[in-house]
A and B are shown apart, each in its own frame.
Chain A
Amino acid sequence: AQSVAQPEDQVNVAEGNPLTVKCTYSVSGNPYLFWYVQYPNRGLQFLLKYITGDNLVKGSYGFEAEFNKSQTSFHLKKPSALVSDSALYFCAVRDISGTNAGKSTFGDGTTLTVKP
């Protein structure tokens, strides 16, 4: 079985400050890890992924995420937040073994609010 936890329903930061959105996962094998962003009244958009290689992954809009195998975490980060980053963020995991027919399991989402 695979699962994802996003421990914070809401994250509030001031514009210009660094932001972190937390994600921890559980899989039986090795994970594929993803972050998606959803703006109001829109579908989810792919932000970044970890498949293999460097633990620090860079994605769209200046976001990055760090894969930590020992802590089973994949936190999303950005050095300097923008008001336009305000959105709903989803972490997702998929077992690399493919036993789940390619299905990703999503967290419940974290609402990020960046205040001017």
Chain B
Amino acid sequence: NAGVTQTPKFRVLKTGQSMTLLCAQDMNHEYMYWYRQDPGMGLRLIHYSVGEGTTAKGEVPDGYNVSRLKKQNFLLGLESAAPSQTSVYFCASQQIDGYTFGSGTRLTVV
């Protein structure tokens, strides 16, 4: 039982490049979330999904898109990366109580 798996773990992008972060969970959870973590700012919700085929905006959605085509996968896309998107990105899933987090993706945009 792997829980929540994020790929890749590290990535360096040039400004303007695009990429997709993949989150996969094997716990059959309905709810999935993407957060970014920046020093002194805690966790900020980017987008979330309450089930397959659904997505919704969190508190900092600009510059990101998401898709949930399959229940187990939640993809986070950056269409045109900016240095302000340098951060650590965490995916999480939950069923009823408590989140299970992935190990994070450290993204640097230069």
Chain A contacts to B: CB under 8 angstroms: 32, 34, 36, 42-46, 49, 51, 90, 92, 101-104, 106-109
How far is it, in angstroms, between the C-alpha of A107 and the C-alpha of B41 when the chains are bound? 9
Give chain A residues whose Cβ lies under 8 Å from the Cβ of B56: 101
How far is it, in angstroms, between the C-alpha of A32 and the C-alpha of B99 when the chains are bound? 12
In-complex Cβ contact of B48 among A34, A42, A101 (8 A) = A101
Are A107 and B42 in contact, with the CB atoms below 8 A?
A: yes
Give chain B residues whose Cβ lies under 8 Å from the Cβ of A34: 98-99
Q: How far is the CB of B80 from chain A (nearest CB, A)?
A: 27
Could you give 20 example pairs across A and B, Cβ below 8 Å?
Answer: A32-B97, A34-B99, A36-B99, A43-B101, A43-B102, A43-B103, A43-B104, A44-B43, A44-B90, A44-B92, A46-B98, A46-B99, A90-B43, A101-B48, A102-B30, A102-B31, A102-B94, A106-B42, A108-B41, A108-B42
How far is it, in angstroms, between the C-alpha of A92 and the C-alpha of B98 when the chains are bound? 9
Chain B interface residue count, Cβ-Cβ cutoff 8 angstroms = 23
Give chain B residues whose Cβ lies under 8 Å from the Cβ of A32: 97
In-complex Cβ contact of B103 among A42, A49, A106 (8 A) = A42
Give chain A residues whose Cβ lies under 8 Å from the Cβ of B45: 103
Are B41 and A44 in contact, with the CB atoms below 8 A?
A: no
Q: How far is the CB of B52 from chain A (nearest CB, A)?
A: 14
Decide if B73 is an interface residue (CB 8 Å cutoff): no
Closest chain A residue, CB of each to CB of B102: A43
Besides A32-B97, A43-B104, 11 other A-B contacts (C-beta < 8 A): A34-B98, A43-B90, A44-B99, A44-B101, A46-B99, A90-B42, A90-B43, A101-B56, A103-B48, A106-B42, A107-B42
Closest chain B residue, CB of each to CB of A109: B42
Give chain A residues whose Cβ lies under 8 Å from the Cβ of B97: 32, 49, 51
How far is it, in angstroms, between the C-alpha of A51 and the C-alpha of B42 when the chains are bound? 23
